[in-house]
Every structure is written in C-alpha cells, then in structure tokens.
Structure 1
Amino acid sequence: MKQERGSQEPIVQVSPGMRVVDAAGAIVGIVDMVQLGDPNAVIVQAPTPDTEVGLDELMTAGAEEPEVPADTAARLLREGFVKVEARRPLDGDVYVEADQIHAVNAEEVRLSVLTADLVPED
C-alpha cells in the first residue's frame, strides 16, 4: 500500500470514516477524528507552592481530546493523533500516534503496530 499525494506525513491524508487496519491486517475500527501535531500545543509551567491544580486538571481544562492521562495527552497533542472508533463497542476507542501510521490510501489507514500497542481511551 502506497501513500497517496506524495506527502511525507501520512496523517495529513487521513480523514474521518476511513477503515484502520493494524500491522497484522486486523481491523481496528473507523477513524473518528484526526488531530495534526502542534509542537507548542502543551506547555506546562511548574506549579507554585500555593497551586493545587494538577497536570491532569490543566490538560482537561483546555481540551476534550484526547481522553488519556495528561502526560500521554501532551505527547499526542504535540505529535498528532488519530482517534479510532473501535470495531466492537466493548473494545473501547483507541488513539493512533502519528508515527504509528505506515500507509494511507483512499479507503484505509494501515498501521505499523498491532492493536494492542495503541493508546486506549480512558
């Protein structure tokens, strides 16, 4: 499977509704949303002694996605991610990191990792 449109970053070719397949060929689910990376997305300042707000609260105050622990959310926001609606509802949704995308064509996103290696939604 080849990347289309000559892009060096496959994530820019991903759009909602595309099927996602892991490295073994198993269907992971359908793309729910795509978030391109932003190196400046999360800048956390050290808390002052009188501050009782934790990193998790800082992360959730400004964004609804991704729904993962704060340190993982910061990484996903910086690098970019794809949220995948699970194939089976009981499996739960997962997040694909931009660098886990191997190839994209008109209908499918092929990953370089197995489903078990993806970040689950909290």
Structure 2
Amino acid sequence: MAKGNECTGNYVKVDGRSYPCTVSLAMDLIGGKWKAVILYHLKDNEKRFSELRKEIPLVTEMTLSLQLKQLEKDGLVTRKVYGEKPPIKVIYEMTDFGKTFIPALEAITSWGNQVVIEKGEFVTED
C-alpha cells in the first residue's frame, strides 16, 4: 500500500484481527506503558527475565511476564528455555520482525529525551 493510504479504507486486517487504521495496529503491537520499554531493553541484545526486572524496576513481575507473553504472541520477541529442571534459564530476544521497530523506537526515545530537556529533568537516585 502506498504511503498516505494507510487509513483510506474502512479498516486493515492482520493475522485475523481488524483495526480502523495502521496506527491502531501499531499501537496494539507496541502500545501501553511497558511494551516499548521492554523492547528498548532488548534492542541491543538478549536478556534473561531477571535482567529485565533489574533494568525496569518499576514494572511488577506479573506485568512484565504478561507483556513478554503478548510480545511473544505478536511475534516481536522470542522466548528460549534452557534446561528442564529448576533453575531453568529463560532468554528473551527481539525477533527479526521486532527489530524492524528499532528505528521507530529510537525516534520515540529521542523525542522523549527532548521533552525532558525542554520540560523536565533526568533524575538519578542512588
């Protein structure tokens, strides 16, 4: 579909799900408070669940788990399990499809940084 036509039809359909436009589709895949944050932390390399918990301390364990499952279901993240008995090792990594979001993620990060510079402050707590 040509650029500029993304919302000219009645709706778009992907994987059996209908959306009013491509913006709605994108927000379903990466929207909400935590999905883009999780993807930001996975963009450079794979991480264990515990590493993600340390890097995103404000997210609850349950929310992180649910968001990772949704990202996996939507094909943005893979989950690899090593070992059969506890303690097992679980690694999360962006898929090739997930990596196509990195340019948009970097633009969102840059914009967020600019907003903080102009209207707020970066806070580091020890």
TM class by shorter-chain length? under 0.3
Higher RCO, Cα 8 Å, sep 6+: 1
- Structure (1 or 2) with the larger CA radius of gyration: 2
Question: As a proportion of its length, which structure holds more strand?
Answer: 1
Report the TM-score when normalising by structure 2: 0.25
